[in-house]
Structure 1
Amino acid sequence: MAENGGRTESIHDEGWWKNANHDSTQRLADQFDFNEWQWFLQSESAPPVPPPAAVVEGLASPEHFTWLRSKEGLEQELFSEGVVRIGSVSDQWLNLAQHFCKTNPFDNVLSLGSERREDGYAEKGRVFAGPWEEWMKSLKHEYSYASVITAFPTSDHHQGWHRDTPDDEENSYHQITLMVYLTDVTQANGATQFRRIASQDEMLIEGSRGTVVAFESSRTEHRGLANRQDKPRVLLYIAFDD
């Protein structure tokens, strides 16, 4: 869900899949060349271009994901603390994700701001859920949406604490979100900070590209820290609802 801690122009109040208005888009266009910052347009590795069917099949394959430890232990930590690192995806999966984003336009801009941008996929983003779909079904959750969240290297403000619910409060609506690190994530470039539930402390999870974190996004308070580095920090959100 959009990173909306008061400094990002959120459009969720008018529907998650509504296009951002022209004025907001133009205002940001005056500040940034989005083609320069888009993660999926970077060509550091320039992997071979696979056929579309191979992209979909590869992204859906559980073979590209390595669990950190037993799922039972991860689930226990997830539901007690609200957040847990669950493992990592392969470089091949990341390359396929990059190619998918490059060749499949986003359905909507979910939020715009001078520090963060969130671009969303509705149904066609389901392709990203493949490695975890069976696990989520066992937890009674189904794919909801996917989005790419970019924290720009011009940000000097932490995001406000929030939950990913319409009213920022816990309610009957329950969501688990997976965060796939599309770039290395550190405290300095805008890692997400969490307020753990059982431990009652604040923590963040730094990790290399490919790290996957699960958190109860409708229950656990969280915020993106300021990106004070010279490159964007990019996450892929894959949300599952009960």
Structure 2
Amino acid sequence: MTVKQLSLDLPHRTALGAEDFLVSKCNRGAVRLIDSWPAWQDNAQLLIGPAASGKTHLARVCQARSGANVVSPSGLDIGLLNTMGEVSALIVEDIDRAGYDEKALFHLLNLAREKRLFVLLSTRETPNCFDCALPDLRSRLNALPAVRIGAPDDALLRTVMLKHFSDRQLAVDPKVLDFVALRIERSLAAAAAVVAAIDRAALGSGRKISRQLVAEVLGTEVSPE
């Protein structure tokens, strides 16, 4: 995947093309997994990552490449699975909190073996960290190959904030990005939230985005440069 060059005339929207995904050390393994389809060593794969880490984005890229169906909790049932042919693909997101039928999930993983069915499951947590009433399902999930998206490194955190500012047609000094990056939680969700808060503060006060404005938003002090 390549990183799309940022521009100041982008609409404020979420892009889901492979070329728009920002690749860094923390997510490179997940990107390689999606890029390597259909040459997966195991037909069923588990993608683990925190909120706003890019799991949905990668799932949509996988969907575009594989023609996979994305199933909802209400849409995943044994009757549907029994009609699927070989070399089909399914994407099941948020298995840790979306309320899927556990028997259907277990049946799906069996079909992945029996019918060469490709399955991508996503979750915020490892299987042993969320509720699972069916012991056989937990055991099967724990045995799946798993790729984890980690906390963003400095380069990714700054680039994501820059993209959010650019999506809002806001110019920002690199020193301001450095100032923010050192003072927020190391997550892409936090990066998006702080950009939105800074945007609101700048609009409400009619001021340019500066370290002083950012410090007020974050409730911290600005040290002399």
Pair in the same fold by TM > 0.5: no
Name the structure where strand makes up a greater proportion of residues.
Answer: 1
Name the structure where helix makes up a greater proportion of residues.
Answer: 2
TM-score normalised per structure 1: 0.28
TM-score normalised per structure 2: 0.29
